[in-house]
Homo-oligomer: A and B are copies of this chain.
Amino acid sequence: MEFVVSAPGKVILHGEHSVVYGKKAIASSLSLRTTVKIRALEENIISLDFSDLNIKESVGSGDLTILESQVSGSLQEPCLPNESVRNSLKCLELQNTNVECLLKQQTIFTTASLFCSLRKISGRKQGVELVGMSDLPIGAGLGSSASFSSCLAAGFLTLFDFIQTPECSENGSNKRIWSKLDLELINKWAFFGEKIIHGNPSGVDNSVATFGGAIHFQRGEITPLQCIPKLNILLINTKMPRSTKKLVGLVKERKEKNPEIYEPILQSMDEITNAVMKAYDQICENCDDVTMSKAYSDLENLIDVNQHLLQALGVSHPTLDDICLTCSTVGFHAKLTGAGGGGCAYCVIRPDVSEEAIESLKRELRTRNFECWECTLGGPGVALTSP
């Protein structure tokens, strides 16, 4: 049995940081995806080949047996493995403790935990070979880990026949989507994977990776957006590592010191999210050129205002400011996405912008040593992909 699963990354469009204080945020799937080829093996091992993470490892039968003895839970209620089991696993004996090695370790542990949990429930004995690759930069706030978890969840649930192989593809695409019920189960297990990797994830990343489209989320509640404009964006990576925890802490500290200054800013951000959803609705309606152009202008202005308020919170970064300035100089509108302090920014691309203008902007950004990708928002979630 061999098949390929893919799942999208996500981008937070508006509401980062204010979401921590109970305000609305919007996120969408990206056309950048993680792909995992899955092949059943007779042998009791997991063979991993994730070139983006520099992982080419095998988890041997000894480790799998130990891990399987430690995991519990049912199909509908996955249960986290005891952290102490890590110390007894051979596959996690890495010499180094730098960030790259810790990420490798985390990925191997997550993969093996997901696999062993589902295999134990299935009562089967087979092994698996995984070959993964991703369009997404790692650790840049674009949900690369959730897209990976969602692929693993869908892959293992398919492998052990817990979900039905989807039959037909949607409108001639090479992606076959599972039923809503199956997607909910995949999401549960993708969230389980995220928990192993991140400790206390919001559930946003795995939801977007699994269901695709766009969502808004507020106080832990995730709601799909009814209308998802197929916006084109340019995603720009500062390549500057940042710590979400540190940035969230910085805003908390500022807000505690001067609530009267920062609470109105967060309030304004919430209203920006509302106004953005209205602009999306208008763009979705696909009305006449004039109305459409006005909706894009509104959206661009809201992007600018949001970026300035994020700067006011202190979560921008000179590289992000540079990106926004570079974009604005040639008529584009950009904001940071995610925690800020580095990471990524995006700029919205109007449908009537010439390919030449986009290429010229990309060249300018690359000259400044930023990575960039043109992508579309709101595409499908996890899918069985024809090779």
Interface flags for A259-289 (1: CB within 8 Å of B; 0: not) read: 0111011011001101100000000000000
A230-262 interface code vs B (CB 8 A; 1 in, 0 out): 000000000000000000000000000010111
A234 to chain B, nearest CB (A): 20
Bound-state Cα–Cα, A304 to B321, Å: 13
How far is the CB of A147 from the nearest CB of chain B, in Å? 33
Contacts of A268 in B (CB 8 A): 260-262, 264-265, 268, 312
Q: What per-residue 1/0 map shows which CB atoms of A195-214 lie under 8 Å from chain B?
A: 00000000000000000000
- Asked if residues B261 and A305 are in contact (CB atoms below 8 Å), the reply is yes
A77 to B379, CA, bound (A): 72
Chain A interface mostly: helix
Residues facing B in A306-345 (CB within 8 A) are 308-309, 311-312, 314, 318, 321, 325, 328-329
Assembled-state Cα–Cα distance A305/B314 (Å): 8
- A260 contacts B264, C-beta separation under 8 Å: no
Task: Given A309-B308, A312-B308, decide whether A260 and B265 contact each other with a Cβ distance below 8 A.
Answer: no
On chain B, the residues within 8 Å of A272 by CB distance are 261
Which single residue of chain B is at the shortest CB-CB distance from A262?
B268
Are A271 and B267 in contact (CB-based, < 8 A)?
A: no
Contact with B along A352-368 (1 / 0, CB 8 A): 00000000000000000
In the complex, the chain B residue whose C-beta lies closest to that of A329 is B318
Q: Note all chain B residues with C-beta closer than 8 A to A258.
A: 271, 275
Which of A268, A325, A329 counts the most B-chain CB atoms under 10 A from its CB?
A268
- Asked if B275 contacts A271 (CB within 8 A), the reply is no
5 A–B contacts, CB within 8 A, in A order? A260-B268, A261-B275, A261-B302, A308-B311, A318-B328
Given A311-B311, A318-B325, A321-B325, 15 more pairs with CB closer than 8 A = A258-B271, A258-B275, A260-B274, A261-B268, A261-B271, A261-B275, A261-B302, A261-B305, A262-B268, A264-B267, A265-B265, A301-B314, A304-B314, A308-B308, A308-B309
